[in-house]
């Protein structure tokens, strides 16, 4: 079921967590997207929408320590608990023929969302992941300079070694790294870069975008997905955009996508009819400026789901002739 095919229903599910990140606040992201009008925007486009609320980590014991100061093992347990629950919830949505939109939360939620898609498609249909992000998120526990799990989901999903048995389970789906496109990258760690090159991950960095432009690069990607008949999962990280238009993230990197570049990507994805699931992640309303970033993400999601400048339906036309 694709975006252009007008799915029977778009199902929203929030994963309200910052346990995979180093900065507190993006656990409030799902509700901020709702406040910014995400549901109303989708309904206005003619879609049916169901909102399943938020998955949250188990409530911790009360203490004087902030969430970001919790022990790494506790934060890891939170991430993996939510990944398993997200994977199951996503499988249910997909099995009902609906299109899941996973609202983050930090980017570690993709461990569960992409797993759901991979498990649902199985051997019957290839999965292509478009990772729109300033970072590659392809570190492992052995290569990560920080140990933050929001920098590791793609490596886990692609089967990289270095993850212990706690990361395994029936909830975990696998994807082929050769079917991953990282779009908008501009901050990649040294060992991470080596892994990406050796595994054949397609990295469209900002230099390529500057040189060749969004249209040519997107056309190449979309043709590849269409030829394969793949289900495309889009994972949209706020920090793919330039901080001047999207200040509400915890890992901002200068030199990102412009407003029109980002919308053009979404519009071309919609026109392709290949998108079957979506992540919207790393919105931190505590760092945002008056809802600027939340509104941008809602507008980008609307473009992905069919909003256009002129709309799709022609209005009444009247012609007059002068004698």
Q: Which residues are catalytic?
A: 107, 133, 135, 137, 150, 237, 239, 282
Alpha-carbon distance of 166 to 19, in angstroms, equals 16
Question: What is the 3 state secondary structure string of 163-175?
Answer: CCHHHCCCCCCCC
168: tokens are 């395994």
> DSSP alpha helices (H): ranges in the chain?
29-35, 38-44, 72-95, 110-121, 153-157, 190-199, 206-212, 214-228, 259-272, 292-304
The three-point CA angle 253-76-286 to 5° equals 45
User: CA 154, 201, 239, 294: dihedral to nearest 10 degrees?
Assistant: -70
In this structure, are residues 104 and 26 in contact, taking their beta carbons and an 8 Å threshold?
A: yes
Report in angstroms the alpha-carbon separations of 206 from 54, 104, 137, 303, 317. Answer: 33, 24, 16, 22, 43
Instruction: State the DSSP string of 71-82.
Output: -HHHHHHHHHHH
Alpha-carbon distance of 293 to 277, in angstroms, equals 21
End-to-end CA distance of the chain: 53
In this structure, are residues 195 and 143 in contact, taking their beta carbons and an 8 Å threshold?
A: yes
Backbone φ, ψ for residue 205 (5° rounding): -85, 175
Q: 303: closest CA among 269, 257, 254?
A: 269
């Amino acid at each position: 079921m694709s975006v252009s095919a007008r799915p029977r229903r778009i199902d929203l599910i929030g994963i309200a967590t910052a346990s995979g990140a180093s900065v507190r606040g993006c656990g409030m992201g799902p509700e901020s997207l709702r406040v910014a009008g995400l549901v109303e925007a989708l309904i206005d486009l003619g879609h049916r929408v169901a909102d399943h609320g938020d998955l949250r980590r188990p409530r911790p014991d009360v203490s004087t320590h902030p969430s970001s100061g919790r022990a790494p093992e506790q934060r890891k347990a939170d991430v993996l608990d939510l990944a398993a629950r997200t994977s199951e919830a996503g499988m249910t949505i997909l099995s009902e023929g609906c299109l899941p939109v996973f609202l983050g939360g930090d980017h570690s939620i993709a461990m569960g969302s992409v797993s759901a898609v991979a498990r649902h498609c199985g051997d019957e249909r290839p999965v292509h992941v478009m990772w729109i992000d300033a970072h590659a998120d392809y570190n492992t526990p052995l290569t990560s300079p920080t140990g933050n799990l929001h920098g590791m989901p793609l490596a886990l999903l692609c089967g990289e070694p270095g993850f212990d048995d706690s990361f395994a389970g029936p909830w975990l789906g696998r994807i082929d790294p050769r079917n991953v496109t990282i779009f908008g990258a501009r901050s990649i760690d040294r060992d991470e870069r080596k892994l990406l090159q050796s595994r054949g991950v397609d990295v469209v960095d900002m230099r390529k975008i500057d040189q060749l432009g969004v249209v040519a690069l997107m056309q190449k990607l979309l043709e590849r997905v269409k030829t394969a008949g793949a289900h495309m999962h889009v994972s949209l990280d706020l920090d793919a955009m330039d901080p001047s238009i999207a200040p509400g993230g915890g890992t901002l990197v200068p030199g990102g996508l412009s407003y029109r570049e980002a919308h053009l990507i979404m519009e071309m994805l919609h026109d392709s009819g290949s998108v079957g699931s979506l992540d919207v992640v790393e919105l931190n309303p505590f760092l945002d400026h008056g809802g600027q970033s939340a509104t941008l993400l809602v507008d980008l999601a609307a473009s992905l789901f069919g909003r256009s400048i002129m709309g799709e339906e022609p209005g009444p036309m009247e012609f007059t002739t002068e004698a």
